[in-house]
Structure 1
């Protein structure tokens, strides 16, 4: 992450005072807690007692903060293509993240570019062997202490030679201890033969489409319990069980342009995934759409009115707004800080509000990927109203403070092996200016006529995107649509087109929203950023924008497959003879 801050000389005394106020308290693990958690707690207390010296001039200071975070995960993954299983695996892992902070909360070894110096990752024994678990934690803690010590020296040296930083916030926030031990996640069980057959049957549908040269139907299921203990006496254990089925297919147009479609189905358990008929219907629709895209015309660059479907608008808000409201992006020499100085000011039309609420497990019966009970710093998940009636109110905060926001709001998230940062969970967009889908479509046509455009665009589905937030690059975004239609003002039927990328700058794009539909759609996905890949959701209504800019996607130069695929019935016929 690009986070840099500096403590001013006058704050040294108060920083030391804060450090003394949050000295670790001793906590004895309860006998009812899992063996893994008991061992984590006892080894943490031993490390806090043994590491470093309390002497002020010591070259090996005692940690002011230490935490152990362990992900105990059972997982199943299998995939199939063209009616055959290509992989089928089941695994169990335990991985510990050890975080060590030296110095004071105001200035510690994680300062600026050294944020990852606090973290050491280590696999743990899979059985509840106290001695073996303690030995692994001991080794990782000692290794992490040495890394933190080296980083603290570098931080102190850098403070003597660099200019004063713009944001002089502390490196770590003070939070109250949390304690909650929820039941562990249920054991992951499935009928392997049944699910493999389901995947085979689904992927076999693609044999009817010779122009689809790649496909996969993949099932991933996890049952995970996350354990967290810290020197602040926080100790939480939370379960998580998720099942995800993904269908992906690719084709290539005659001019070399690669095209793909993807459908993701997510639930809190395997039995809640859609039935086979529903999945097959979605797959067939995807395949037929790809066939149509192969021969669809390439659209020219466009700047005019458009409608984003609910799913498309959800991805749009996640990329264009959500990432720029993550707390750590409001400080540091490298961050563009698009909205940092706009708290209390309008950044959206007044009829729009945006919240992030990871406490929601589902939305109108649809499971939300971004749900969690506690974040990866042991802080309880909570709803955060980011934008209310168009006005920016706050940011998504981890325990890295920024100017005017000194505490976490439960959004410190990370993939195992990465340092937590402020990240999105379930981003929810709501509107007080909504109309029916039919009315929204007519408004699109009216707006295109007003602008003298022969058509507007309708973005039905979007795959992904990326947002540039650093100062060294333009503060821009790009979103990749999968299904786009021209909606003509003269009444002609809508026309499917391809080769479109949405580009622009955030403030201009967000303030061009004119109205929304009266129903919201859900997008579930995996978001990759500096703290790793994490599950997220976004919920939004369809939106009409007065101006959206598109550019042509990369054309590609590879030809479609030269020879046709094998006849899928050939081997069956031969065996029958």
Structure 2
């Protein structure tokens, strides 16, 4: 699914919301995109032009400088989207967007060694906007232009690969550059038209963002509604022909404040559904928004944490981000080959890398989990392969990796996890990472276990991580094999029975194998993280599901302090707000 660094970085959707969106007035009370184009017009043109290219390119047998492609594919993302933002009770931006983009992939040589080898993977890809009209001639002409440009790019890459192979040392992993797969044929119904009652949603966004006017110390807020309907088309010279729909809506609420010592603080809430009508009702959103604002006020007065090394509980959402960053990225197939990759788990197949009570799978076929939509759902990946569940770790033992059509020494075939943002080459990526546990206790029991562990280690407290914003993982061998996770809400849980204490400025750091081996137990309820993950194949939607977990040792450091003062001039109406609160 083509929706819209190598340290890999993942953030909640809130981290991607900008301060404003370019403004376009809506003339009607509701927007409704044009009916989706008949699949036949677009996909038949793609097939026809692809066949013409394959039978024409490299046909001159006497000219060895122009080899025939052994593989050619067209992937088209056809989407309608809308977005709307509000701040402090007023609409700040609204936009509609119609988009149709093609990725043309050309491979020269053989599957064993082609123009994508080594550092030249992107030589296969050319990206170009397609005409929005269902004009077969115009679409064919654009694909023709992109194919010719892509062929030249692929040829340049192939010549460089052949030259480099003459002078470089033997590679650690001599696997092929492309796997042999059975082509899929699945023309699913196009994604439904995008329908949004803009008048009603403008009122809802005004009300939600207006709540922050009651909190003088919140100097920035943004409430954003985003909705997209998209159909992705894929055809290849192998005979693949796939069309898959996707329809998603999300509401993101972000607010920021600044402590007296200059530390910036923010909170965010993200709500996702398969369509706008299925987002939470207004009362639920108001309650969440008010809780966010109150928590920001509390964080301003919270003490700054000191570096800590001791026991901690990560809530289900925090645990999900932890597993995504610390484990998931290192199980992506392409990270097991190449001179630059750290290959943390490459040699540990069949060995225990987690406690025996934990198992991990990745299942993009799940569209929801216990009624909550999952961002990492897709039916077919971006190489036209059917999505499938992959059991990565069984009872703590590593069983396999997340594979695209880039083989590695241990695995020569895809398992339906070749994913990419439009304009990027697909690689093995996470979809819905699911962590399950056979050693579960209640929340109350897990909390008591935290206190017991802290006492055993001579600590006055353990830490409880309630919410997580984002994180990143370094997987290259030229850098330390480390990770960092940025919590938003952290409490000290004292062993002597004192009330929990909210703290700020905490950042979780560590190395993967050490961190994963310190998990002691989990609770009996799984929670969900939905977010956007950025890596070499672009930014893609992902989900992670995990229970809260107790770790015997976690290392934290202080976040950057910041030097800017809070706003010197109070916001308009601050005196009346303060007076009103005092009289309650």
User: What's the TM-score once normalised by structure 1's chain length?
Assistant: 0.93
Task: Verify: 1:359 aligned to 2:365, yes or no.
Answer: yes
Name the CA distance, whole Å, in 1 between partners of 2:302 and 2:542. Answer: 32
Q: Is residue 514 of structure 2 the alignment partner of residue 508 of structure 1?
A: yes
Aligned partner of residue 78 in structure 1, secondary structure: strand
Show the 5 A alignment for 1:555-574.
555-567=561-573
Tell me if 1:460 matches 2:466.
yes
CA distance in 1, matches of 2:164, 2:59: 24
Q: Are 1:304 and 2:310 an aligned pair?
A: yes
Matched, 1:489 2:495: yes
Q: Return 5+ residue gaps in structure 1 as ranges.
A: 3-31, 571-577
Q: Distance in 1 between matches of 2:363 and 2:60?
A: 41
Residue 226 of structure 1 corresponds to 232
Hey, what's the Cα distance between the residues in 2 that align with 1:196 and 1:399? 44
Does 2:450 correspond to 1:439? no
Match of 1:261?
A: 267
Give the match for residue 380 of structure 1.
Answer: 386
Whether 2:122 is the aligned partner of 1:116: answer: yes
Aligned partner of residue 166 in structure 2, secondary structure: helix
Q: Matched residues in 2 for 1:106 and 1:84: separation?
A: 58
Higher relative contact order (CA 8 A, sep 6+): 2
1:56, distance to aligned residue in structure 2 (A): 8.4
SS at match of 2:391: strand
Match of 1:140 among 130, 137, 146: 146
Secondary structure of the corresponding residue to residue 547 of structure 2: strand
Using the TM superposition, give the Cα deviation of residue 177 of structure 1 relative to its aligned residue in structure 2, in angstroms: 1.1
Shift of 1:569: 11
Alignment deviations for residues 422-442 of structure 1 (CA, whole Å, 9 cap, x no partner): 000000000000000000000
> Who is 1:22 aligned against?
none
Please give the per-residue CA displacement for 1:307-347, whole angstroms capped at 9, x wherever unaligned. 00000000000000000000000000101000000000000
| Partner SS, residue 501 of structure 1 | strand
Ranges in structure 2 where 5+ consecutive residues have no aligned partner: 7-37, 577-584
**Secondary structure in 1 matching 2:533:** strand
Q: 1:42 to 1:245 in 2, by over 3 A?
A: same
Q: Deviations over 1:349-388 (max 9, x none)?
A: 0000000000001001110000000000000000000000
Distance 2:191 2:328 in 1: 30
Aligned to 1:104: 110
How many Å separate the matches in 2 of 1:538 and 1:143?
A: 39
Q: Distance in 2 between matches of 1:494 and 1:258?
A: 22
Deviations 1:512-563 (A, max 9, x none): 0000000100111111111111000000000000000000000000111011
Q: In 2, distance between residues paired with 1:485 and 1:190?
A: 40
Equivalent residue, structure 1, for 2:187: 181
Distance (whole Å) between structure 2 residues aligned to residue 439 and residue 283 of structure 1: 30
Provide, for residues 290-318 of structure 1, a one-character-per-residue CA deviation record: whole Å limited to 9, x for no partner: 00000100111000000000000000000
Q: Aligned partners of 1:248, 1:70: CA distance in 2, in Å?
A: 33
What is the aligned partner in structure 2 of residue 156 from structure 1?
Answer: 162
Q: CA RMSD in A?
A: 1.2
Tell me what 1:407 maps to: 413
In the alignment, the residues of structure 2 paired with residue 179 and residue 510 of structure 1 have an alpha-carbon distance, to the nearest angstrom, of 40
Deviation at 1:404, TM superposition (A): 1.2
CA distance in 2, matches of 1:75, 1:67: 26
